[in-house]
Amino acid sequence: MSSLATEFPVRSIRDRAQFVAQVVSWLKGTSYSTILDRPHETDLHGDTAHLRSKSGEELRFREFCEGGSLTAIGCRHDFPDNEGRVWRTEAVLRRDTPVSGQDLIRVRTQCLAKHHDARVSFPRKPYLIKALLNDNWGGTDGDLSVSDVPVWLADTVEALNAAHAATIGAATKHLPVVYVSAVGTSKWVLDAKQIEKLAFDLGGIAHVVVEPNSAFSFRLRDLTGGVNAYGGTIAVSAPGRGIIRQARLGFRAPDPEELLVFVRNTATNLRTQMPTEGWDWTELQEQALRLQRERDRNKLSVADMDALYKEEVVNLKEKIVQLEEQISSRTEQESAEEEDQSLLGILGKKLGSEIYRGEFADRLRMAVLDCLSRAEQTGLDDRSKFVLGVIADGLPLSPELGELLDDLKRATKDPKKVASELTSLLARHGYREKSDNRHIRLEPKSGYDGLDNITVPKTPSDSRGLINLRKQVERTLGIARLSE
């Protein structure tokens, strides 16, 4: 079994017919469903409507009403294919949820094997979600509106605060945020069309927020204490938790298309495993059956009551299977995260902080290339050369290295501003001011072992002195050779 699940706020829906109409429109718009080819409109009325075609396709509706008003309504659609599988889509609308007070819709789609040898595939996001968003059903999720288009941040204080909230997990309550950092002005590792496609694919599953430029990243870095994504990194932030996963070009995603797929799958898996406030189909069934049993206790015959109990048992068995699947999927996700962090994650814990994101990988790359350049002299075997070559290819230079080198050039252009600009720049990359007399002395902060002190003259002699100062800083940081 393989499943995808999400839930998100929708605008207030007071009419049962609106929900049914959305489901009918969705199924009539498909090329494969025949369940609605012949039924009359009356077949969809009632709180337990059930349609079944000759091919085995089924559509069920279930309602739950309290105090004479609609509390929840849901549907389950089963479509058997020719490969021994059943594609199941469930959608439940729960009104006025107790925690958020919003109407929430929970959608879950599964691929179920009817035979032991059937090949189970991971289900795609059901078109029902796209249809709901196209019809403006998307509600407000914290600070963001539920939609399938990216949020392009402007370079403003308000946008900076919004980016801060997204980074620490305070911007939303129900959906994760995918934060796309910049590598320049209106430039990202994904192009604009890829970002729009990512937002479209994740509509109803996650919000996609895009920062305007790399200068915005530095201001956000100061605001968040350096935990933000920057330099082309794409982060996935969970509500109430903040960033839980970051992705960049490298081993796992060597090109932008693979990076897009990786981020989309990461966000989808996260939303599938997140806690729920809405109801899924089994919860709706459980509540409706309990209410029916209590309400009609004195009206039902012994046979009817027995049938009701049997239906409840079947529903509880489904719920057990669903919970077992959730436990299994979380274990797999945890293993993937451990694997993803295996080498560089361990290095980060042992070595402390990076002076820029991707520093440790860049230094490993330099060491590998240096070793390969002397392979013939040292008699390195072919197997080791092959392994090291693959590692070098899988460790592209971090874009942040180029940004830091460019920033150093800009900071050492004007002799009147060099002291303040260079001090400010190095403060973002592991240094703090130790003393300020005729020269400014900078020392590495705690957690940046291996860095030496840097002395910044307040008035360099000439342009040549500025160049020498920049090169001296590059050598002290150990970044002069990294880009070679």
Which pLDDT band, with edges at 50, 70 and 90, does 159 fall under?
A: very high
The DSSP annotation for 314-340 comes to HHHHHHHHHHHHHHHHHHHHHHHHHHH
Give me 4's structure tokens: 């995808």
Q: Is the pLDDT of residue 188 over 80?
A: yes
Q: How buried is residue 477: exposed, middle or buried, by Cβ count under 10 Å (0-12/13-18/19+)?
A: buried
Most confident range (mean pLDDT) of 304-318, 369-383, 455-469 is 369-383
Task: Supply 459's token pair.
Answer: 């008035």
Which of residues 264 and 402 earns the better pLDDT score?
264
Rounded Cα distance between 455 and 457, Å, is: 7
Query: How confident is the model at residue 339, as a pLDDT?
Result: 43
Would you state the structure tokens that stand for residue 421, as one six-digit string?
């600009």
Average confidence (pLDDT) over 15-33: 89
* % pLDDT > 70, the chain: 85
For residue 134, pLDDT over 60 is answered with yes
The answer to whether 29 touches 133, Cβ cutoff 8 Å, is no
Cβ atoms of 118 and 148 within 8 Å: the answer is no
Does residue 292 carry a pLDDT above 80?
no
pTM metric for this prediction: 0.74
User: How many Cβ atoms from other residues are within 10 Å of residue 117's Cβ?
Assistant: 7
Q: What integer pLDDT is reported at residue 338 of this predicted model?
A: 44
Q: Which two tokens stand for residue 306?
A: 């027995």
Q: How many CA atoms lie within 13 A of 207 on its CB side?
A: 33
Res 1 pLDDT > 90: no
Per-residue pLDDT at 235 exceeds 90:
yes
Q: What residues have CB less than 8 Å from 59, skipping those under 6 apart?
A: 23, 27, 35, 36, 49, 50, 51, 52, 75, 76, 77, 78
Structure tokens, 223: 């605001």
Where is pLDDT greater, at 38 or 410? 410
For the ranges 41-50, 83-92, 403-412, 434-443, which has the lowest average pLDDT? 41-50
Ramachandran category for residue 84: left, alpha or beta (phi over 0 → left; psi -120 to 50 → alpha): left
pLDDT of 341 reads 47
pLDDT > 90 fraction of the chain, expressed in percent and rounded: 42
Closest by Cα among 171, 141, 135, 137 to 153: 171
- Residue 85 CA neighbour count, 13 Å, CB half: 16
Output the average pLDDT for the chain: 85
Tokens of 179: 């934060």
Give pLDDT tens digits for 300-351: 666 666 665 666 666 666 666 666 555 555 544 444 444 444 455 555 556 7
Res. 222: pLDDT tops 80 = yes
**In the structure, what pLDDT confidence band is assigned to residue 271 with cuts at 50, 70 and 90?**
very high
Residues 6+ apart with CB under 8 A from 353: 226, 430, 445, 447, 448
Residue pair 132/309 in contact by the 8 Å Cβ criterion: no
Task: Give the per-residue pLDDT at 163.
Answer: 97
27, pLDDT greater than 70: yes
- Give the model's pLDDT for residue 371: 93
Question: How confident is the model over 171-181, as pLDDT tens digits?
Answer: 999 999 999 99
Residue 374 has a pLDDT of: 92
Of residues 300 and 132, more confidently modeled:
132
The pLDDT, as a whole number, for residue 417 is: 87
d(CA 120, CA 114): 10
Residue corresponding to tokens 């991971």: 122
On the question of pLDDT at 161 being above 90, the answer is: yes
DSSP H stretches of helix in 109-156: 127-134
Taking CB atoms within 8 Å and a gap of at least 24, the contacts of 412-415 are 412/466, 412/467, 412/469, 412/470, 412/473, 413/466, 415/459, 415/460, 415/462, 415/463, 415/465, 415/466
Q: b/e string for 310-321 if b means 16 or more Cβ within 10 A?
A: eebeebeeebee
Nearest to 387 by CA among 372, 402, 366: 372
Tell me the pairing of strands 69-80 and 85-94: antiparallel
224 vs 152, more confident:
152
Q: How confident is the model at residue 438 (pLDDT cuts 50, 70, 90)?
A: confident
